[in-house]
């Protein structure tokens, strides 16, 4: 007479004919260590980052204020850099080239100097006047950019809170709702950490990308949770597995769309390039957080509630 019986036999399910627990059942709680470790690392990193930089991201001109001048045509970027050193305040340069031919189409110079100053200095180097036919100039005052940034932060937080409310409203149970929100939060946090580690300067477009991530990452989590909680007549693992097949396809298609777009437009628009890069990183983390973090928590909950 055995004292300890495998728990599935209490429910008498036919597919658990052999007494050994499936591998997933043995490890699903343990693998939660991975996201936990990553989360702790992320928190520590962000804490340090914030101490050093007084902010959560490196910001670019659109968020700090400054001038951005796009000069059409081919410009010798190396000579220009030497020339501008010391003349322009805190400047950065990017090149835009044609995807098909590799030909340089334009060069973007970003600086904290005022647009009039920057224009004059550039005209000195180029030897011709910059007008609307051969260039574009964008200028944002410092205080309005700071205001922008603050509002985008508020928009982020508001979006996240609203999303959480909707999630709880849909599922009406605490643990599953919490798992979804935790997974979405982890996605954004981990993506943020990677973006900071690589030293990207985030623009206002980049913050939009983070907002888009909220939507993208929640999609797969909602699918997972709906399948596990609302499908009847199946074991939990079977539900998880079918959700996995659907969810992975979803994430793979999103990833394909984003990677293709990234490849095609990155050389021609840095705004779109940043959006798609952040989305790519976020989608990879989404795979991790949905199928390890969210799935494990959900299974734990489902087992506890004897759902399958």
The answer to whether residue 170 forms part of the interface with another protein (CB under 8 A) is: yes
Only one of the segments 5-13, 20-28, 50-58, 151-159 lies at the binding site for another protein (rule: CB under 8 A); that segment is: 151-159
The answer to whether residue 56 forms part of the interface with another protein (CB under 8 A) is: no
Q: Which is nearer to another protein, 49 or 308 (CB)?
A: 308
The answer to whether residue 205 forms part of the interface with another protein (CB under 8 A) is: yes
Only one of the segments 8-16, 51-59, 76-84, 269-277 lies at the binding site for another protein (rule: CB under 8 A); that segment is: 269-277
Q: Select from 22, 212, 284, 287 the one that contacts another protein (CB under 8 A).
A: 212
The answer to whether residue 268 forms part of the interface with another protein (CB under 8 A) is: yes
- What does the chain look like in DSSP terms, one character per residue? --S---HHHHHT-TT--SSSPPHHHHHTTGGGHHHHHHHHHHHHHHHHHHHHHSSSSEE-HHHH-EEEEEEES---HHHHHHHHTTTSSS-EEEEEE-TTT--EEEEEEEESS-HHHHHHHHHHHHSS---TTTEEEEEE-HHHHHHHHHHHHHHHHHHHHHHHHHHHHHH--HHHHHHHHHHHHHHHHHHHHHHHHTTPEE-HHHHHHHHHHHHHHHHHHHHHHHHHHH--SS-HHHHHHHHHHHHHHHHHHHHHHHHHHHHHHTTT-HHHHHHHHHHHHHHHHHHHIIIIIIHHHHHHHHHHTT--
Nearest distance from C-beta of residue 63 to another protein, angstroms: 10
Nearest distance from C-beta of residue 242 to another protein, angstroms: 6
Q: Which is nearer to another protein, 56 or 148 (CB)?
A: 148
The answer to whether residue 40 forms part of the interface with another protein (CB under 8 A) is: no
The answer to whether residue 146 forms part of the interface with another protein (CB under 8 A) is: no
Q: Select from 87, 182, 200, 226 the one that contacts another protein (CB under 8 A).
A: 226
The answer to whether residue 152 forms part of the interface with another protein (CB under 8 A) is: yes
């Amino acid at each position: 007479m055995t004292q300890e019986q495998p728990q599935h036999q209490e429910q008498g399910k036919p597919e658990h004919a052999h007494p050994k627990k499936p591998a997933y059942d043995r490890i699903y709680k343990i693998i939660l260590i991975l996201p936990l470790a990553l989360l702790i690392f992320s928190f520590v990193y962000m804490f340090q980052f914030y101490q050093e930089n007084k902010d959560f991201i490196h910001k670019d001109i659109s968020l700090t204020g400054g001038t951005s001048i796009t000069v059409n045509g081919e410009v010798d970027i190396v000579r220009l850099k030497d020339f501008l050193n010391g003349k322009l305040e805190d400047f950065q340069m990017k090149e835009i080239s044609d995807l098909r031919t590799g030909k340089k189409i334009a060069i973007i110079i970003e600086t904290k100097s005022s647009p009039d100053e920057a224009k004059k200095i550039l005209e000195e180097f180029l030897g011709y006047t910059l007008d609307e036919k051969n260039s574009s100039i964008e200028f944002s005052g410092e205080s309005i950019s700071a205001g922008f940034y603050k509002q985008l932060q508020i928009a982020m937080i508001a979006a996240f809170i609203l999303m959480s409310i909707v999630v709880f409203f849909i599922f009406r149970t605490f643990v599953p709702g919490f798992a979804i929100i935790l997974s979405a939060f982890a996605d954004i946090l981990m993506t943020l950490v990677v973006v900071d580690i690589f030293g990207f300067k985030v623009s206002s477009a980049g913050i939009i990308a983070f907002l888009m991530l909220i939507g993208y990452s929640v999609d797969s989590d909602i699918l997972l949770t709906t399948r596990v909680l609302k499908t009847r007549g199946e074991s939990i693992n079977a539900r998880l597995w079918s959700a996995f097949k659907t969810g992975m396809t979803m994430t793979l298609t999103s990833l394909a769309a984003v990677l293709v777009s990234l490849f095609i437009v990155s050389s021609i628009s840095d705004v779109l390039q940043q959006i798609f890069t952040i989305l790519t990183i976020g989608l990879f983390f989404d795979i991790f957080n949905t199928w390890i973090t969210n799935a494990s928590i959900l299974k734990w909950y489902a087992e506890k509630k004897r759902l399958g």
